[in-house]
Structure 1
Amino acid sequence: MRKQDIVFLACAVFLFILAFSFPSIGSKGSLLHPEKATSFLAALIFFINGIEIKKEKWFEFFYLRDCLLIQAATFLISVLIGLLLHELFFKNFYLSPLILAGIVLLSSLPTTVASASIFTKIAEGDSTFTLINSIIGNTLGLFIVPLITGYFIPNWHRESFDTGLLALNLFLIALLPFSLGLALRKLNPGDAIKLFLKYFQRFLLLAIVYLSLSESFFQIDNDFLSAKISYPILLLETFILYLLFLALSFILSRFMAFSRKRKIASIFILTQKTAVLGIPLAESFFLSSSEQSFLLFPLLFYTLIQWTGSSALLFLLGQKEKLN
């Protein structure tokens, strides 16, 4: 494993401990305004990706077979995995049936808007493939995820969900900065600038990691529903779900005979779930904060697991490359 990757993982571990120790930074309206800062950092990552992307790689967008299979795995197979796992093994551990809706919401979410492509790039995978699928998945997810999750919530008021606002946010966070980056790609930045952008992206990802973990720890610590939710059981269920999504990525990659770079991309696409889309969705389903919390808890626990798991995967993939 390269020295810079070890430094990155060490920083990630430090930020995990810091977020756990001082989670109040994740509260809305705090000094760093995490709900706004995360979107801004993600937009910067997409802007840099637009500058760095190679023209010939962008044309791979038109080879839709692999992308369609990834989206089917995200919105169909992953949901079936989440449903079966919960109904067969964990259903009787919770007093609230809304936990099932929370598991469905988590399972049906597309990949993270920016971090999955950065993790893929650090692991020397096909970051363009990850980038394209994150844009496609988050666009489709605006319409598919509410339909899937709403099926398991009888008293959901559909009119409370603002698809237009989320679509605007996706445009401002992903499509617009990426397009601006593509337009500026013609400037052909020098090697020194490219090296700076490479490490700057890692810094941005670490900042997103810290803000996301702080927000998760803050919401979990400040909720009053622990009597109705067994935290260890939910942590175990979301951890198993992460492992199943990881197994799905391996099976899919083997079935499609993906190259090593695309296998790495598939791993992070199918195991990373976006809280940027999931949290606004959960908040739109109910007016009651307690009901929102039941819906959000699986996603919050999974967020902690996916950041830890992605960091571990960077180490394992680096070791495997060294052995090869």
Structure 2
Amino acid sequence: MKKMLKLLDPYIALMVATIVVAAVAPVYGRGATIAATTADVAIAFLFFLYGTRLSPKAAVAGLIQWKLQIAVLLCTFALFPLLGVGFSHIMAGMLPHALLVGVVVLSLMPSTVQSSIAFTSIARGNVAAALCAASLSNILGVFISPLLVGWLFQTSGVTLSFDVFRDIMLQLLAPFLVGQLVRPWIGEWIQRHKQVLGYADRGSILLIIYVAFSKGTVENVWGGVSISHLLILMGILTLLLAIVLILTDFIGRRPLSLSVEDRIVLQFCGSKKSLASGLPIASLLFPGPQLSLVLLPLMLFHQIQLIVCAVLARRYGAKADQQGTPDAVTRQPGAPATQ
């Protein structure tokens, strides 16, 4: 029991508390307008911070291992979406449509940065390559994810109109690019104050969740969602993650013949989905009352991937320790590794 509690992300408790507050005390009327505007500012702030944190040099350095980096991108933006779309069709009729949309949306998001690198390190994988892969995924994801969502859901009312493009430019791309431009001057300051900024980062996400779930409560979109729906959704997300983990491991072993350290990178970076990037992107593309249902799969998947990948990373690390495998943390891209 204690081990399970250690695997649970405390931030999940804050998200659950935020949802409860939104259900009990939703914001509406003029308050909803003010909250929505504040959430828009928070989204821009989030992507500005991403721009200051992500190193384009790290992403470019990773191109030395182009085979691994392309494999991670294809798993993130091709394999995962194919599985997400497939699951949504198979489960049609078993879950509310908005939840199925959410499953597809989460499959279109970029990889995480922090947890991908952390789990790769615990598993004794190639941390330098993981940093490159996660950074490249997030940089490209700012452009690719909204386009994929718009393309797949153009028949469902999600259109990349001028207004949507304007919002993407103003709230996602422009702040991100500004962050990249000023990174040489404020990057060190950002690193020194990353703990305080991390609170602001997470607080912004909680605000986005509160606004989305408040809107859903006011419009009573949760009336058609039952406990059985949530249990089915949890099962789908767990199975989806398991399939991706198995496939990424297989791809790394057979077609690509990657080293053990690089297979770990492909498995962890190729199977993760970013909550921090996904919530703002979905908020822009699904502004209606159904947004809270669309966001729910991504929020649940966030916790599932943390628990499963933490267990997997520890097993990899223990196996490496038993075999006396040297720590791959300091190995640079392109350097030889254990096969």
Q: How high is the TM-score relative to the length of structure 1?
A: 0.69
Aligned length: 292
Unaligned runs of 5+ in 2: 1-5, 122-126, 253-257, 322-339
Kept in 2, the 8 Å contact 1:108–1:148? The answer is: no
Cross-structure match for 1:15: 14
Question: How big is each residue's C-alpha offset from its partner over 1:25-78, in whole Å with a ceiling of 9 and x where there is no partner?
Answer: 88662399333224313422431334xx7x566422465444444443344433
* Within-5 A mapping of 1:1-324: 11-23=10-22, 29-30=34-35, 33-50=38-55, 55=57, 58-61=60-63, 64-88=66-90, 90-93=91-94, 98-99=97-98, 102-103=101-102, 105-107=104-106, 109-111=108-110, 116-123=112-119, 124=121, 125=127, 126-151=130-155, 153=156, 159=161, 162-182=164-184, 196-197=192-193, 199-200=195-196, 202-230=198-226, 232-233=228-229, 236-237=232-233, 239-241=235-237, 243-256=239-252, 257=258, 258-269=262-273, 274-283=278-287, 289=288, 293=290, 296-313=291-308, 315-316=310-311, 319-320=314-315, 323=318, 324=321
Cross-structure match for 2:324: none
What SS does the corresponding residue of 1:40 show, helix, strand or coil? Answer: helix
Question: How big is each residue's C-alpha offset from its partner over 1:234-292, in whole Å with a ceiling of 9 and x where there is no partner?
Answer: 56236513541453144224412334345332232489871222222223xxxxx4xx6
- Over the matched positions of the two proteins, sequence identity in percent amounts to 12
What SS does the corresponding residue of 1:275 show, helix, strand or coil? Answer: helix
Aligned Cα root-mean-square deviation (Å): 4.0
Q: Which amino acid aligns with 1:144?
A: L
Q: CA deviation at 1:170?
A: 2.6
What SS does the corresponding residue of 2:92 show, helix, strand or coil? Answer: helix
For 1:228 and 1:70, locate their aligned partners in 2 and report how far apart those are by CA, in whole Å: 37
For 1:137 and 1:34, locate their aligned partners in 2 and report how far apart those are by CA, in whole Å: 21
Q: CA, structure 1 residues 273+82, in 2 after alignment: closer, same or farther (shift >3 Å)?
A: farther
Q: How high is the TM-score relative to the length of structure 2?
A: 0.67
What SS does the corresponding residue of 2:34 show, helix, strand or coil? Answer: coil
Kept in 2, the 8 Å contact 1:82–1:104? The answer is: yes
Question: How big is each residue's C-alpha offset from its partner over 1:212-236, in whole Å with a ceiling of 9 and x where there is no partner?
Answer: 5434543443332344444641562
Q: CA deviation at 1:309?
A: 2.5
Question: How big is each residue's C-alpha offset from its partner over 1:102-126, in whole Å with a ceiling of 9 and x where there is no partner?
Answer: 25751552227xxx21223443452
Kept in 1, the 8 Å contact 2:58–2:131? The answer is: no
Cross-structure match for 1:3: none
Q: CA, structure 1 residues 44+25, in 2 after alignment: closer, same or farther (shift >3 Å)?
A: farther
Kept in 1, the 8 Å contact 2:106–2:273? The answer is: no
Q: CA, structure 1 residues 157+59, in 2 after alignment: closer, same or farther (shift >3 Å)?
A: closer
